[in-house]
Amino acid sequence: MDLRSDFFKLNFFFHFILCLVISSCGGSAGSSNQPLLDISAGAVMKPLFNSNPIIIDDAASYYSHACNDPTFQFLIPLNMNDDEHIDFISHFWCDSLTPGEYDQTPVPDALVANLNDGYGNYSISNLSVFGEIYPKLGGASRKYAIGDINNDGKQDVAFAMNWEDGRASYDHDSLISNYSRPALILSNGNSYMIVKLGEPDWGHSVQIKNNKVFFAGHKSQVFELDTNGWNDISDSYPQLSFASFLLFDEYIINSVRRDSSQGLELIKDNKIISSIMFEESFKVNFESWNNAGTNYYTELGVYNIRGENYFDGMISEMCKKEDIIVASINASKLISGEIIEGGFYSESDTTPVVMLALYKIENDKLVAFDKTIKDEEIHHNYNFFDCIDVNNDNKRDITASVFSQQWNDYDNNRGVPEIYINADDYYYNLDTSNWPTYSDNEDTQGYLFDIDMSGTLDLVIFPTKVNSSSKVEIYTTNKNLTD
């Protein structure tokens, strides 16, 4: 017997098995959710996501005072009680019980504050946060902005408000049915007070800059907070876009529609100094969702974008990353057939699309920025996106909070956002196919935020509308999203 030969055979077999275990002999390390042996650390590497989510329970006993099946509009992460844990404020509002009909009553809504106990558990604390059990903003919220308006070191939230709940939106006896006053929640120690400002409007956009808050709808309203209270300084600023506007250093960037064209205008010292505008191809007659079945049609422009015709196609949201402006173009396309000039169409005949476009400011001039977004998914509908660094490489990426809609024939993300990683010369669509998804079969949305303050972003998922519940699921991470 050759003992030395048998020893080498046994030693080779041991190293072969070890190689398979750690997947480090020329092969792939496999899925990020598979535990791997880390020889250098002598320990098992953790998966990207922890398998058991943090759960924020249904708030039915609070929003049910508004209605039983509200829209879950926002889940806003805030540190409300000066600890090292993130808390949340949720806003719910109710759809009209008589859609398409004229209504002048406020949209029922509800605010819910969830405080973290420091151990990953959340409890509803409306009384301690708002001083009342059933606080409300007074209508439907469309967008929100966060900033420290009163300079107390705590974040405040301003909301663009309206009563657009499905009711008829046209004039009736010179009254407009979907106007509501702008609102905000302003920090006051460890609590918040609800503030209503200005005049009722069809609020759609809002921004905060230092101690000023900017609201835009059918008109602009700007307010400044000083030691004497709120001052209306709207006359000091130009008209702000209801669709979207961005405060960028000394500039204001407006998404605008002018006659038969639309695009972006760059404003400095209250003067338009540059613009990028696109002409419509032709017009059609269009019945919007809140006028469904009324035969109330309005003219709508059709735009050719990247070689294809789309309804509307207006820039509806912007964010800034370093010196780059990222804009989302919200449009819709005909589900089948071609769009014919002068034709009659309803929103039910269409499906939404969202496309991203990049711009820069050079020498006081707005210019298109040519940077490819590889594998962009335009058929995932969303209202909001962020320009944030998702993987701690000091480069801002793009995360889109896509709606996972059951009726949409395209892939359902089930709450996982679309993530485009900044690779210097281009962005690429991060593969999230192995990420956890919302446990219930609901229309959902989600975003990334460092909920446990660990230094890596976590996945937050919640329903877009309350059907079975308003349960929130938070999957915390153990490492950067691209590690």
Per-residue pLDDT at 290: 64
- Cα angle: 177, vertex 182, 183; to 5 degrees: 125
Residues 313 and 304: beta-carbon distance below 8 Å: no
Which tokens go with 360?
């820069």
- Residue 74 makes CB contacts below 8 A (sequence gap 6+) with 89, 90, 91, 141, 144
- pLDDT digit string (tens) for 416-426? 999 999 998 99
Which residues is 301 bridged to in the sheet?
283
Across-strand partners of 272?
A: 267
Strands 36-38 and 43-45 turn out to be antiparallel
Per-residue pLDDT tens digits for 370-382: 899 999 999 988 9
220 vs 216: CA distance, rounded Å: 5
CA distance 425 to 129: 46
| pLDDT band, residue 156 (cuts 50/70/90) | very high
Which amino acid, residue 136?
Answer: K
Tens digit of each residue's pLDDT (9 = 90 or more) over 35-53 = 433 444 434 588 999 999 9
pLDDT tens digit sequence for 246-257: 998 999 999 999
Distance CA 87, CA 77 (A): 6
Q: Is the pLDDT of residue 133 over 90?
A: yes
Residue 474, pLDDT above cutoff 90: yes
Average model confidence (pLDDT) across the chain:
88
SS3 content of the chain, % helix, strand, coil (to 5): 10, 45, 45
| Residue 406: predicted pLDDT | 60
**Rounded to the nearest 10 degrees, how much is the dihedral formed by the CA atoms of 126, 128, 133, 136?**
-60
Tell me how far apart the alpha carbons of residues 211 and 96 are, in angstroms, rounded to a whole number: 35
- CA dist 311 and 302 (Å) reads 5
Query: Which tokens hold the place of 315?
Result: 């820039």
CB contact at 8 A, 222 and 237: yes
453 vs 11, residue with greater confidence: 453
Record the tokens describing residue 268, joined without a space: 């400095």
Distance, in Å, from the CA atom of 315 to the CA atom of 328, rounded to the nearest integer, reads 6
Copy the structure tokens of residue 272.
Answer: 């338009």
Q: 231: how many CB neighbours lie within 10 A of its CB?
A: 14
Going by pLDDT thresholds of 50, 70 and 90, the confidence category of residue 173 is low
pLDDT of residue 480: 94
* Segment 155-168 mean pLDDT: 94
**pTM for the full predicted model:** 0.86
